[in-house]
Structure 1
Amino acid sequence: MNEVRGHRVLAAALRRQPRRLVLFGVWSALEAAPVLVFGRAVAGATDAFLAHRVEAALCWLAVLAGAAVVGAVGATRVYGPLAAIVEPLRDALVRHVVRGAVHDSVRTGRRDDGAVARLTQQVEIVRDTFAGLLMIVQGFVFTLAGALIGLLTLMPVTLLLVVPPVLVGLGLFLCLVSRSITRQRQLILAEERIAESATALAAGLRDVTACGSEEAMAASAGRLIDAQAATARSMARLAAGRTVALAVGGRLPLLLILGAAPWLVRHGATPGVILGSLTYVLQGLSPALSTIIRGVGGSGLRLAVTLDRVMEAAEVTQVPRPSRPAGGDLRLCGVSFAYGPGAAPVVDDLSLRVPDGDHLAIVGPSGIGKSTLSLLAAGLLTPSAGSVTLGGVPADEADPDDRALIPQEAYVFGGTLRDNLCYLRPGASDHALDRAVTAVGAGDLAERLGGYRAEVSPETLSAGERQLIALVRAYLSPARLVILDEATCHLDALAEERAERAFASRPGSLIVIAHRMTSARRARHILVLDGTRSWLGTHEDLLADCGLYRELHGHWSAPPPEPTGRTGREASPSPA
């Protein structure tokens, strides 16, 4: 499967630049021009010199020199289209490796240390060997074609002495390919294991020294290195087999032509024809066969195995996307969470329901667990106990499009303003984009930056401007649940109010980690956290019954208001 996909990646790289591929072929043909006329010119010049026709001999040598100039021009021009074909392949592989590593780390909770080897070694190997292999293949095709055409025009019968050994040599080489692929794959895996071991060893070097485990770790790393060396020696033995194939296909035709020279002379061959035939073999056929056997047997195998490994190890596991829930009903049932087995819980036995369409504000002292709760609600953290569901689906398995979390430090990437705003809804129309920008209050910013097509440089934007861009991005998304984790803290009070009212009137649910108490007053319900208990109620309810809320609100010194008959309550699974 990965082999097929790897081949498709290479094929796509060739199809992506058809014009450049044609130019690459044209310049390659010109580069091989000397091969076509080399033997013919040598034969003509030799026979002319033997016949004392110096002018004709010099003309043949001039033809040879002209062909060399044409070949030099082709050789200098071939690298431009080659780079245009190869560099996009490297960029695509880098994106694939990064996407796969991030996905795997999020899914398993572990770092993918092997991704470093794939980025720094394997992707570069694929790029370099793919470029080299293209040069090898074009050189073999055009050189072989030129040599065979030259032999055909010089003396067709010589093809009977040349083609069979070439086919036998190529056949012998193909028999070694499958074993070479297996050994090459083992070599790549061994290099990757060494990289992972070295990364882990470097990270824990202090602990290794403190525990006196240097010898044990050295022995463990040594076994990996020995296994890699044994595989490398096996590859060397297979390389010797390729040398035999080269001798059969590239050197045997030379011996056959020399041995058949008397017979060829009796059938009309001149000394120039014999010498020209030998020239085609020595300067054309043998180098071409040597290049393809050594290139495909070395760089080609390395390319195939490395590319398959990159595609396999960085493959993003396609988990079936769950059906979109009918609403954004969020439920937390007995949820607890701690950052480590022995750590005190940040969230302890919390039960909460946020119905679809509700507007909830979460308040509490700094460091009390508000951001942790937002990550649990978004499915980015897994609770130590209890469950978190969105629309009846576990939050960490729900469709990513169903929720959007905006942290305090908003992320803006290099690109156009439209790319940033429509990142979560790439196909958004201009009308929808205009409506979102107006609703959130980012119209002046868009105009100041130069419109949606303007290039955005994150470092030139203020923190508030980055927050406005992130707010429009979330507003425009299809998410039924939006969580603003102090996502408006760098905006002034009026801009914050406008943005929060826009999200409150938007379809779906809104959870705000309040930065200002005015955010809590605008919410339909408020959750107060104090580390040991939690309260859920309206602004009036909590002023009456929650001392912590009164303190946060600034009414701690004033007498509590008269009871209203409505009491705040601890958060529970019942509807808020």
Structure 2
Amino acid sequence: MTPVLELDRVSFAYRGSAAPVVEDVSLTVADGQSLALVGESGAGKTTLLRLLLGLTRPTSGTVRFGGDELRLGDRELMRRFRRGVQCVFQDPYSSLDPRRRIGSIVAEPLRSLGLETRHTAGPRVAAALERVGLPADAAERYPHEFSGGQRQRVAIARATVCEPRVLLADEPVSALDVTTRVAVVELLNELKREQGLTLVMVSHDLSVVASLCERTAVLENGRVVEEGDTARVLGAPAHPYTTRLVESVPRLPGPRD
């Protein structure tokens, strides 16, 4: 089966830089599968996400969507790509325009992709807000009227309103408190089951990775050093760097500690 997203020996270096940010990375993401990209800050996780989003061109190698090379000049392909791949960002407040009502924010992908107009988007916006557990009057309110967790639900509604195949998430719960984080993780799991979403997620939180993703790729200095089933990678790591990541997770002391 053709992967929905694929990185084939991809490298990326900033102009004038001697060292690449990511180097010789090959990853495949199948339909309905979820993949976590983990590693320390500066490992190249967000750069890979930008490459998968088509926001950055690789210095070498190929990014493919549905088997087709992602060519930014191919308008038809990029139209299919923009409808099929959406993103949720880390900070739910800065990613939402404070001057616009929630209904207008969530409808933006529908309008920009030509799927609905401002006058016809209402029912799909209402359904998207309902799916993420927001009240019926949310569409008429502004971002500052919501909590951080509710704003992230708005961001998820915006990303899923056009029913994409793939959701790319950059630290989607790191800006939230623990209780809210659990609720948003449960929401993402529910959307995965109900909509068959493919999820690619960058995260420092290995507990979130274990809850959401079947596969995990571990990055160190721009290279994938380990990849496989999440339970195996986190439970019995084969690479010393992965072992250090797992051992660095804070744990509550036991009754005898």
> If the length of structure 2 is used for normalisation, what is the TM-score?
0.76
- Counting matched residue pairs gives 225
Partners of 2:53 and 2:175 lie apart in 1 by 23
Partners of 2:25 and 2:207 lie apart in 1 by 25
CA deviation after TM superposition for structure 1 residue 540, in Å: 2.7
The 1:429/1:460 distance shift into structure 2, 3 A limit, reads closer
CA deviation after TM superposition for structure 1 residue 353, in Å: 0.7
Q: Is the 8 A contact 1:440 1:498 kept in 2?
A: no
Partners of 1:475 and 1:329 lie apart in 2 by 17
Partners of 1:469 and 1:547 lie apart in 2 by 39
**Structure 1 vs Structure 2 CA RMSD:** 2.8
Matching residue's letter, 1:409: D
Q: Is the 8 A contact 1:420 1:473 kept in 2?
A: yes
Match for residue 253 of structure 2?
none
Counterpart pick for 1:498 among 180, 186, 201: 186
Matches within 5 A, 1:170-181: none
The yes-or-no answer on 1:412 pairing with 2:63 is no
Matching residue's letter, 2:138: G
The 1:434/1:455 distance shift into structure 2, 3 A limit, reads closer
CA deviation after TM superposition for structure 1 residue 370, in Å: 0.7
The yes-or-no answer on 1:524 pairing with 2:214 is yes
Partners of 2:105 and 2:125 lie apart in 1 by 11
The yes-or-no answer on 1:439 pairing with 2:134 is no
The 1:497/1:338 distance shift into structure 2, 3 A limit, reads same
The yes-or-no answer on 1:342 pairing with 2:17 is yes
Partners of 1:524 and 1:533 lie apart in 2 by 17
Counterpart pick for 1:377 among 48, 52, 59: 52
Partners of 2:165 and 2:33 lie apart in 1 by 11
The 1:403/1:466 distance shift into structure 2, 3 A limit, reads same
Match for residue 471 of structure 1?
156
Q: Is the 8 A contact 1:359 1:511 kept in 2?
A: yes
The 1:440/1:498 distance shift into structure 2, 3 A limit, reads farther
Q: Which has the higher strand share?
A: 2
Matching residue's letter, 1:502: E
**Structure 1: 5+ residue stretches without partners:** 1-325, 558-576
Counterpart pick for 2:6 among 309, 314, 331: 331
The yes-or-no answer on 1:403 pairing with 2:94 is no
Matches within 5 A, 1:98-113: none
Structure 1 residue runs of 4+, over 6 Å off? Answer: none
CA deviation after TM superposition for structure 1 residue 338, in Å: 1.0
Matching residue's letter, 2:188: E
Partners of 2:152 and 2:248 lie apart in 1 by 31
**Structure 2: 5+ residue stretches without partners:** 251-257
Partners of 2:52 and 2:26 lie apart in 1 by 12
Counterpart pick for 2:226 among 535, 545, 565: 535
Partners of 2:197 and 2:48 lie apart in 1 by 19
Partners of 1:408 and 1:555 lie apart in 2 by 22
CA deviation after TM superposition for structure 1 residue 519, in Å: 2.1
Q: Secondary structure, in 3 states, of the residue corresponding to 1:479?
A: coil
- Deviation string 1:381-404 (CA, Å, 9 cap, x unpaired) is 000000001112233343222211
Partners of 2:60 and 2:189 lie apart in 1 by 34
Match for residue 386 of structure 1?
61
Q: Is the 8 A contact 1:332 1:352 kept in 2?
A: yes
Match for residue 170 of structure 2?
485
Match for residue 551 of structure 1?
244
Matching residue's letter, 2:88: I
Matches within 5 A, 1:149-188: none
Higher relative contact order (CA 8 A, sep 6+): 2
Matching residue's letter, 2:217: L
Matches within 5 A, 1:137-148: none
The 1:340/1:477 distance shift into structure 2, 3 A limit, reads same
The 1:500/1:534 distance shift into structure 2, 3 A limit, reads farther
Match for residue 107 of structure 2?
422
Partners of 1:480 and 1:434 lie apart in 2 by 20
Q: Is the 8 A contact 2:226 2:242 kept in 1?
A: no
- Deviation string 1:111-158 (CA, Å, 9 cap, x unpaired) is xxxxxxxxxxxxxxxxxxxxxxxxxxxxxxxxxxxxxxxxxxxxxxxx
Q: Is the 8 A contact 2:90 2:174 kept in 1?
A: yes
Partners of 1:416 and 1:459 lie apart in 2 by 10
CA deviation after TM superposition for structure 1 residue 499, in Å: 2.8
What percent of counterpart residues are identical? 27
Partners of 1:367 and 1:360 lie apart in 2 by 19
Partners of 2:160 and 2:63 lie apart in 1 by 23
CA deviation after TM superposition for structure 1 residue 463, in Å: 4.3
Matching residue's letter, 2:201: V
Partners of 1:407 and 1:527 lie apart in 2 by 20
CA deviation after TM superposition for structure 1 residue 481, in Å: 1.7
Matching residue's letter, 1:521: A
Q: Which has the higher helix share?
A: 1
CA deviation after TM superposition for structure 1 residue 366, in Å: 1.1
Matching residue's letter, 1:514: S
Partners of 1:338 and 1:438 lie apart in 2 by 42
- Deviation string 1:416-454 (CA, Å, 9 cap, x unpaired) is 221112221243453x4444334334x2xx46xx432x2
Match for residue 56 of structure 1?
none
The yes-or-no answer on 1:451 pairing with 2:138 is yes
Partners of 2:106 and 2:3 lie apart in 1 by 23
Q: Secondary structure, in 3 states, of the residue corresponding to 1:422?
A: helix
CA deviation after TM superposition for structure 1 residue 459, in Å: 5.0
